[in-house]
Amino acid sequence: MKKSISFILSAIMLLCVFAVPLSVTAEDIMTPYDVPKILFYTEDGVTPPSDKTKINTEVYIIDEEGGQYETIHVPLEADEDGKYTTVNVRGNSTSAAHKKAYNFKFTSKIDVLGMGKNKKWSLLANAYEKTLLRNKTVLDVAPQIGVPYTPDYKVVDVYMNDVLLGSYLLVDSVEVGSTRVDIDVDNNEYLLELDYNTPDEDCYYFYSGVYNVKFAINEPEIEDLTEDQKTYVEDLLTKAEQALQTGRISEIEKYFDLDSMSSFYLVLEFFKNVDVNTSSTRFHIKGGKIYGGPVWDFDLSSGNYREDYYTSLYDSNGNSYKGLWATTMPWFGALTNVSSFQNTVEEKFLEYQDIFVNLYADNINGQNHIDETIDTYGESYARNYNEAGWKFAIETDGFVLERTPLPTYEANVEYYREWLKNRNEWLLEEWGLDNTTVTMNSNSTFVQDGYLIKGAEAGMKVSSLLANFSSGTSLMKDGVALATTANIPNGAVITKGGASYAVIVKGDVDGNGELATNDYIMVKRACMDNLALDGIDNLAADVDDDEEFGLFDYLLLKRHVMGTYDIYGD
């Protein structure tokens, strides 16, 4: 299992996130602030209409305060071919929201905030998602578990003609490119989208030969697509679906890259993306095989959907975290009926449990993703509501998709947090993996404090620790299982195949299972700012248990090593 031990001891008070003074609105909007800014100055001050008409525009892109990128300024003028930089409303259902999402396109490729040189860029408004977290969360998780070509992003504030529109995600548009979906469209490689929305004039649409799923070939665009290429794609999908019907993995793997498909399915299923069988579900063909991904459009996921939109998303008690959903896409429905594919999904779910748990709770990966994100971008999110004026209410005059928002930001965040926790625990139970949870005997001398196991002493053997836990539990260090006769080192990971727990050995700052001169020297150097200790080492250095380390801890540890004091004594 791939485990990392990094720990950040920090906390955030959500109640304080939105206490941003309104005087911020008086700042010079050209001045760098806590997040990058994108400023549009459209021709004649026109607001881009909902019909997606492209409007000529001037653009400024300003990095955050202390950032490393020079300001980009594209003036409102035509290039040598008479083309302008443009901005337009983007999206299908999202175009009906009051807070609009946008695409903007330069006349030549520009590297924006270190995300690579490209012409087209997307600004996700997250209008239907009041926490502003769901899309960002998936873009962070997907690449960690193997979904290829996950778009890069930045949290930005967007202004239109000097008016703050709110907090947005600046995202790589899903298109072919060396820094995006890196495929060769000149060599029978294609970007596909499952899409039942109004046809895009740039795309060729067709229905798959067996399951009758409507796909678009996003790239090559229709004007560059030959009849032979159309035939190739349609024939490949027909053969791939025929292989799925056989249920034989030896046939299926001829047409599908099962590693990316299993990772893609896991993301779609965990977050229960509403759109999985209707739109924004991407695949790509590379080297004659179909790959899953990239991910896109998760604002209507993780329980954020109207209760009567898809009634099957909820159980009889109104719980949306229960039930499988991505299997409604016929490919995944067929794949998950193949035991070897389902086994791979379950193995990955266990392997990455620490990542999934860390979405909502602090664990050995550090501060939980929700709090860390708000800690970093909370002021931008606050401006979205306090200054741009968005409300915790349905923000559309059209077809309502989102669940009715709760009245405060904090309440919506906690709903999201609880949903992720419940979803993780439900999937573990549904897939028969809940026996991988580490459980400690009731009479244990050790103490479980969240994801930490305390009470171990230097020189204790691994066997003495494991005897306090259910069978099948192992102790690992740097990904390697420790022998039962070895000393317990600080920061060792105890696991049963699922989520991990970190063992704290008081005083063992260097993590070798023993207390010696090096341990107290490390504490002294850290006190003098000559050495940085990570979170787990910090906890080991806190010899007097006052939740921080200092020179007193150094003295106590030194006396212990010299035999004049016992840090484990009563």
Tokens of 303: 């329980």
Residue 474, φ and ψ in degrees, nearest 5: -130, 160
How does residue 27 score in pLDDT terms, banded at 50, 70 and 90?
low
CATH code for the domain of 523: 1.10.1330.10
Number of structural domains the chain divides into: 2
Q: What is the mean pLDDT of the chain?
A: 92
| 88/352 Cα distance (integer angstroms) | 38
Q: Is residue 3 one of the residues assigned to a domain? A: no
Whether the predicted pLDDT of 8 surpasses 60:
no
**In this structure, are residues 120 and 181 in contact, taking their beta carbons and an 8 Å threshold?**
no
Whether the predicted pLDDT of 9 surpasses 80:
no
334-338, 353-357, 401-405: segment of lowest average pLDDT: 401-405
143-155 confidence digits (pLDDT tens): 999 999 999 999 9
The pLDDT of residue 535 is 84
Q: Which of 324, 346, 368 is the last residue of a domain?
A: 346
The pLDDT of residue 66 is 96
Give how far Cα 140 sits from Cα of 144, 269, 495, 569, Å.
Answer: 7, 16, 24, 44
Q: Is residue 505 one of the residues assigned to a domain? A: yes
Q: Which of 346, 377, 409 is the last residue of a domain?
A: 346
The pLDDT of residue 16 is 44
| 324/131 Cα distance (integer angstroms) | 24
Q: Is residue 399 one of the residues assigned to a domain? A: no
| 133/416 Cα distance (integer angstroms) | 9
| 459/490 Cα distance (integer angstroms) | 11
222-235 confidence digits (pLDDT tens): 999 999 999 999 99
**In this structure, are residues 505 and 540 in contact, taking their beta carbons and an 8 Å threshold?**
yes
Q: Is residue 99 one of the residues assigned to a domain? A: no
| 75/84 Cα distance (integer angstroms) | 9
522-531 confidence digits (pLDDT tens): 999 999 999 9
- 88: three-class secondary structure by DSSP: strand
The pLDDT of residue 401 is 87
453-483 confidence digits (pLDDT tens): 999 999 999 999 999 998 899 999 998 999 9
- 367: three-class secondary structure by DSSP: coil
Geometric angle at alpha carbon 157, from 155 and 158, rounded to 5°: 120
Whether the predicted pLDDT of 159 surpasses 50:
yes
Q: Which of 297, 321, 346 is the last residue of a domain?
A: 346
Closest of 50, 175, 232 to residue 125, by C-alpha = 50
> Residue 333: CA atoms inside 13 Å, Cβ hemisphere, count?
11
170 bridge partner residues: 123, 154
The pLDDT of residue 3 is 39
The pLDDT of residue 570 is 64
The DSSP annotation for 376-423 comes to: HHHHHHHHHHHTS---SS--BSS---SPPPPSSHHHHHHHHHHHHHHH
Q: Is residue 262 one of the residues assigned to a domain? A: yes
Q: Is residue 124 one of the residues assigned to a domain? A: no
207-211, 469-473, 554-558: segment of lowest average pLDDT: 469-473
Q: Is residue 295 one of the residues assigned to a domain? A: yes
Residues 194 and 341 in one domain: yes
CA 351 to chain CA centroid, nearest Å: 16
Cβ-proximal residues to 524 (8 Å cutoff; 6+ apart), any chain: 551, 554
Closest of 22, 12, 39 to residue 382, by C-alpha = 22
Q: Is residue 9 one of the residues assigned to a domain? A: no
| 177/510 Cα distance (integer angstroms) | 45
CA 419 to chain CA centroid, nearest Å: 15
Residues 339 and 230 in one domain: yes
Which range of residues forms the domain containing residue 206? 190-346
